[in-house]
């Protein structure tokens, strides 16, 4: 990840890559992609025509919204987008 030299070295990035976003929420990149497609994880922010990144604050909100009980993971009635948090 490229960083501005003016930033303090201990300041974590707010926008992260697909691979970093998947690791941040403890998922494989493929599972993360599926959860984005199904609305459980947020869509990326566009940083240009081809570059995109995920906001860690959106990822935190998505994780906070995940169900606790097994078997509810892909319940479309409780998707992240339906909770009004889609970007």
Determine, yes or no, domain membership for 5.
Answer: no
- CATH for 33: 1.10.1660
pLDDT, block means (10 residues), the chain with 87 residues: 68 92 97 95 94 96 82 53 51
- Number of domains composing the chain: 1
Helix (H, G, I), strand (E, B) or coil at 53: strand
pTM: 0.71
What is the torsion angle, in degrees rounded to the nearest 10, for the CA atoms of residue 65, residue 35, residue 55 and residue 12? Answer: 90
Chain-centroid distance of CA 43 in Å reads 7
Residue 65: give the domain boundaries.
15-83
What is the structure's pLDDT at 30?
Answer: 96
Q: State the Cα–Cα distance between residues 84 and 21, nearest whole angstrom.
A: 20
pLDDT at 4: 60
Residue 46 phi, psi (nearest 5)? -85, 130
For Cα atoms 49, 2, 8, give the angle at the middle one, nearest 5 degrees.
Answer: 130
- Is residue 7 domain-resident? no
């Amino acid at each position: 990840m490229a960083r501005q030299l003016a930033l303090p070295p201990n300041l974590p990035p707010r926008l992260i890559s697909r691979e970093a976003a998947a690791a941040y929420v403890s998922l494989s990149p493929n599972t993360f992609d599926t959860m984005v497609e199904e609305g459980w994880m947020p869509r990326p922010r566009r940083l240009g025509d081809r570059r995109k990144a995920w906001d860690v604050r959106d990822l935190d909100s998505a994780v906070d919204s995940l169900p606790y009980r097994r078997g509810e993971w892909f319940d479309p009635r409780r998707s992240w987008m339906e909770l009004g948090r889609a970007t």
